[in-house]
Amino acid sequence: MNSTPSTPLTATESAAQDALRAVLDPLTGQDWVSGRQLKSLRVSDGVATVQIALGYPSRSRWTAYSQLIEQALSQVPGIKQVQVTWDTQIQTHAAPRGQAPLPGVKNLIAVASGKGGVGKSTTAVNLALALAAEGARVGLLDADIYGPSQPLMLGLSGKPDSPDGKTITPPINHGIQMMSIGLLIDDKAPTIWRGPMATQALEQLLRLSNWGQTKDEGGQPLDYLIVDMPPGTGDIHLTLSQRAPLTAAVVVTTPQDIALLDARKGLHMFEKVSVPVLGVIENMAVYHCPNCGHEAHIFGEDGGKRLAEETGVPVLGSMPLDLNIRLQADSGKPTMVSEPDGKVGQMYRGMAQRLAAGLSKLPKDYSGKMPGVSVQPKA
């Protein structure tokens, strides 16, 4: 297509468009022409100018993607040079249960685990930071009312601002917004609340927070609000799944059999409330000895892979058992802040990109059958 939609394609432009149909997005498996990500295609004096807007953040992949396009168009007669520009246009995906989107938020994604201690909170904060590093506007909600950890991981403390005495402006650090009950109570005091009090507090954190920029700042909503869920499948999970406009979920597990058992329960829960699961993240998969280089599967091997095969849910990534990941999170500078371009940082980027690419393929509305995840073993 030309920059002016009504202008017909020239023969060379038509051939170029056909060539681009053969280029598949490595993360979605779809071509950018059929998927309507190709916004402009023009050929003038042998120079092809291409503009593409992806539905997921992936700045670190743009150079490689440009090479794919250049290779395809170099075979088209009449094209001697290719210029590619990229943009990100993240859409709002409706919640499968029909709830209206949360004000200031395009997509609400739960990061859950059936079992505690599998590194879910560390994974959630690094996924949020990775999405931001790839070009998205991101927020993080700490939904663990009884054991909030995100203030420590993001190096935040002190009471957040309330511009009108009713709403809360989530503080920002490392480029993302974050809200947690840990910012509102004494960090040394236990939260001794019954279930209804905890769920009411969570709903207030979710709905009374000023997510995204204010109107004075342009009114830009968050592309993603990542929700760090508490372990288990209790009141808070039901509250978020049934009352909040959850777009999708991710399940974190270790390869250990007991963790996989609880992860299956988490998958069942999301199935029952019709929330699609974008994938499984296997954490603490392998330990690399820093002295001799020996690898040890301390918590078992290929557990996440087996879970994915049983449920039909993809594996988004497999993370090592690495002391630095823990030390960096405890210091208030998670891996995606301390070493964003290191080996582990690149792994978090890859998982975040696969998560966002999978979400971009979800329908914009659910007028038909609500999606779920099959958690029955395959024959």
pLDDT class for 2, splitting at 50, 70, 90? low
Between residues 142 and 274, the one the model is more confident about? 142
Beta bridge partners of 318: 282
Residue 4 reports pLDDT greater than 70: no
3-state helix, strand, coil in the chain (%, to 5): 35, 20, 45
Last residue within a domain, chosen from 26, 61, 88: 88
How distant, in Å, are the alpha carbons of 35, 121, 193, 276, 351 from that of 355?
Answer: 18, 16, 34, 12, 6
Beta bridge partners of 226: 109, 140
Q: Are residues 156 and 84 in the same domain?
A: no
Query: How does pLDDT run across 153-202, given as a tens digit for each residue?
Result: 999 999 999 988 899 999 999 999 999 999 998 877 777 788 888 889 99
Last residue within a domain, chosen from 88, 117, 148: 88
- Of 97, 7, 87, residue with least CA distance to 43: 7
Q: Is the pTM of this model over 0.85?
A: yes
How many Cα atoms within 13 Å fall on the side-chain side of residue 379? 0
Type and span of the H or E element at 324? helix 323-330
Place of tokens 């295609």: 41
Query: How does pLDDT run across 106-115, given as a tens digit for each residue?
Result: 999 999 987 7
Distance CA 62, CA 78 (A): 25
Residues with Cβ within 8 Å of 327's Cβ and at least 6 positions away in sequence, in order, are none
Q: Are residues 119 and 163 in the same domain?
A: yes
Q: Are residues 81 and 112 in the same domain?
A: no
Between residues 194 and 31, the one the model is more confident about? 31
pLDDT at 289: 79
Q: Are residues 84 and 110 in the same domain?
A: no
Decide if 369 is inside a domain: no
- State how many domains the chain has: 2
Residue 291 reports pLDDT greater than 90: no
Q: Are residues 78 and 178 in the same domain?
A: no
pLDDT class for 214, splitting at 50, 70, 90? low
Distance CA 228, CA 138 (A): 13
Amino acid (1-letter code) at residue 17 = Q
The domain of 77 spans 11-88
Percent of the chain whose pLDDT exceeds 90: 64
Q: Are residues 212 and 317 in the same domain?
A: yes
Last residue within a domain, chosen from 58, 88, 118: 88
Question: Are the CB atoms for 366 and 96 separated by under 8 Å?
Answer: yes
Type and span of the H or E element at 42? strand 38-44
Q: Are residues 291 and 328 in the same domain?
A: yes
Decide if 372 is inside a domain: no
* CATH number of the domain within which 244 lies: 3.40.50.300
Q: β-pairing, 222-228 with 105-112? A: parallel
Q: Are residues 112 and 250 in the same domain?
A: yes
Decide if 366 is inside a domain: no
Q: Are residues 35 and 118 in the same domain?
A: no
**What's the rounded mean pLDDT across residues 109-132?**
93
Residue 377 reports pLDDT greater than 80: no
Decide if 55 is inside a domain: yes
Question: Are the CB atoms for 315 and 305 separated by under 8 Å?
Answer: yes
**What's the rounded mean pLDDT across residues 49-62?**
97
Question: Are the CB atoms for 233 and 115 separated by under 8 Å?
Answer: no
Decide if 376 is inside a domain: no
* CATH number of the domain within which 23 lies: 3.30.300.130
Q: Are residues 212 and 135 in the same domain?
A: yes
Decide if 4 is inside a domain: no
**What's the rounded mean pLDDT across residues 75-92?**
96
Q: Are residues 235 and 284 in the same domain?
A: yes
Decide if 96 is inside a domain: no
Most confident of 221-235, 281-295, 337-351: 337-351
Decide if 374 is inside a domain: no
Q: Are residues 123 and 23 in the same domain?
A: no
